[in-house]
Structure 1
Amino acid sequence: MTPLTVVCWNLERNGKGDPNIRRAADEILRRLEPDIVLRQEMFGADARGNTVFNEQCQALGMRGVLGPGACTAIFYNPEQFELVRDWSTDRTPGFVLPPTVITVRFKEAGPDAVPFILASYHFAYGSAQQRLLEAEWLTTWADKGWTAPDGCQIVLPFAGGGDNNSCPEPGAPGDLPLPVLSEIRDRRHRLHRSRRGPDGVRRVPDTEPDHTLRTAGLEDVARYWAEKGNPGALARTVNGTATHGPDTRIDRIYVTTGLLPAVIGVEVHEVPLDASDHHVVVWRVNRSALVDLLTNCVLFART
């Protein structure tokens, strides 16, 4: 059975304003045959009445929701998923670049199956404090209630991905080491990627967004898959440079832990630097396992 494919990509400035780069990037995505695409930096996609965004939907053969300010977007395969709710009209506090958040239902699981929430986000570039605030607010979409047909009160499962602009906490076997701040030549970038440590003086790499999301009961699918014996899931998503430090894994997908049994693969698809400064994170999902999970309301019952 063909797995579902979820991809997450921060395409630099949506093709850097160049339609040829954007269309080549759409082709990169199309070849991955995605069922869900979590996109960041959709800048300009809302021009001329969403003309660019509509073109991208057509290029991918998908439907989509463009978030506030064309900062982020979600594309989905309408043969597999139906849109239940678009949260874009709700107030999105605390974000420099607002996320796109929707509720969808997996058609294969049936009309009474548990729907789930998808989020595409882009945490702030220049402030560790702002990123922490944004991570905390993101967890509120992992706490949305729903009443099942049998009356069971559940918390909707959540799957979100984006550019975290920060490193994951150490601990996953084979993960990239945290950068040594003194080796980051660009002092501004060194500041942007760090925060004051426990002593209140020395700065340390910022890992708080990862810590916050995992504290809320979400898990990094790449970390999960690596712990199952697949260290390749922890490949870089941004190349190192002389000024900005080593390879990093700042693009990540987090899901409610109850969805983890459906994970059957995580990989990073590297793209040429003339396309984007970020690579593509690919998450493979077992369809039948997902159906089993979404038709078992007890797994997501509010406790």
Structure 2
Amino acid sequence: MTKLTVVCWNFERNGKGDPAVRRAADEILRRLEPDIVLRQEMLGADAKGGTVFNEQCQALGMRGVLGPGACTAIFYNPDEFDLVRDWSTDRTPGFVLPPTVITVHFKEAGPDSVPVNLASYHHAYGSAQQRQLEAEWLTTWADKGWTAPDGSQIVLPLAAGGDNNSCPEPGAPGDLPLPTLSDIKDRPHRLHRSRRGPDGVRVPDTEPDHTIREAGLEDIARYWAEKGNPSALARTVNGTATHGPDTRIDRIYVTTSLLPAVIGVEVHEVPLGVSDHHVVVWRVNRSALADLLTNFAIFART
């Protein structure tokens, strides 16, 4: 069985302007042999006509699309995927840090197969209300129509990954517990990661996760853990004395039609000197994905 690899990584401030740190990050990604990279914090990648971004594409041997404001990006393997559409020129309301969204064809499935929308996003750092708004707008990318070759109207599947700056809703066996807010010693950060509950008491913010899953997408780590693989729920950010315990704020969501192609989810830890976030890795059964994308009935608009 051959596979594709999709990774999601918030590489801290794109290396903070240090080429040596960027090279270390490139090497981490190369070892994972990704076919799709959903990146956040692309700070400075657009400088000097995109010189840094182009260097990063070349280092990975991939093509890429840099989103508005160099906030996010998507890299893809041109041997596996053809770019169909770049949505970055479309208005993306509601985001502090605009997402990168593209539509691609998986070559193995053939040119007449269902394309896939890919999104890399970074939810707002300092406002639970803003994150809620952004999560709602993110779900609109799971509602994009497409006319299949047979004339039927379908809804494109979506794979979206990013830094949610909030916790997943409880319920997955083995998931990290929600932080006790009193353990977050930095008071502004405590505020940023929480919201007022119905009784007026502040609680950890889990609403973005609830919203995205309510729209028919699933957290692939949660899905894979429920299949008996709890290691998929590993931390993606280390705990600190000021900012509280380990958290799983980096997640990949897919429309449920794509779940049969999931064959693995893992978290690849990286040294703190490289980034403050770890890498979420999704392994995809390529033949299963190809079969899914040629079955128009799965994606028919109802």
Q: TM-score range by the shorter chain?
A: over 0.9
- One-letter amino acid of the structure 1 residue matched with residue 238 of structure 2: N
Q: Is the 8 A contact 2:9 2:278 kept in 1?
A: yes
Q: How many residues align?
A: 302
Matched, 1:14 2:14: yes
Runs of 4+ aligned residues of structure 1 deviating over 3 Å after TM superposition are none
Distance 1:17 1:159 in 2: 29
Distance 1:174 1:16 in 2: 34
Corresponding residue of 1:298: 297
Cα offset, 1:2, TM superposition: 2.4
Distance 2:233 2:56 in 1: 29
Cα offset, 1:143, TM superposition: 0.3
Cα offset, 1:17, TM superposition: 1.5
Cα offset, 1:243, TM superposition: 0.5
Distance 2:73 2:80 in 1: 18
Matched, 1:198 2:198: yes
Cα offset, 1:48, TM superposition: 0.2
Distance 2:122 2:143 in 1: 20
Corresponding residue of 1:102: 102
Q: Deviations over 1:218-271 (max 9, x none)?
A: 000000000000000000000000100000000000000000000000000000
Distance 2:45 2:183 in 1: 37
Cα offset, 1:298, TM superposition: 0.4
1:263-282, aligned counterparts within 5 Å?
263-282=262-281
Corresponding residue of 1:219: 218
**Secondary structure of 1:4 counterpart:** strand
Cα offset, 1:198, TM superposition: 1.4
Structure 2: state its 5+ residue gaps: none
**Secondary structure of 2:85 counterpart:** strand
Distance 1:183 1:268 in 2: 24
Could you tell me the percent identity over the aligned residues? 88
Distance 1:62 1:2 in 2: 19
Cα offset, 1:182, TM superposition: 1.1
Distance 1:30 1:100 in 2: 21
Q: Is the 8 A contact 2:2 2:287 kept in 1?
A: no
Distance 2:170 2:25 in 1: 32
1:137-216, aligned counterparts within 5 Å?
137-199=137-199, 201-216=200-215
Q: Is the 8 A contact 2:42 2:73 kept in 1?
A: yes
Distance 1:2 1:262 in 2: 12
Give TM-score, length-normalised by structure 1. Answer: 0.99
Q: Deviations over 1:79-119 (max 9, x none)?
A: 00000000000001110000000000000000110001000
Give TM-score, length-normalised by structure 2. Answer: 1.00
Distance 1:2 1:116 in 2: 19
Q: Deviations over 1:119-157 (max 9, x none)?
A: 000000000000000000001111000010111111000
**Secondary structure of 1:284 counterpart:** strand
Corresponding residue of 2:30: 30
Distance 2:197 2:21 in 1: 40
1:38-53, aligned counterparts within 5 Å?
38-53=38-53
Distance 2:168 2:105 in 1: 30
Distance 1:53 1:75 in 2: 10
Distance 2:271 2:166 in 1: 22
**Secondary structure of 1:298 counterpart:** helix
**Root-mean-square deviation (CA), in Å?**
0.5
- One-letter amino acid of the structure 2 residue matched with residue 232 of structure 1: S
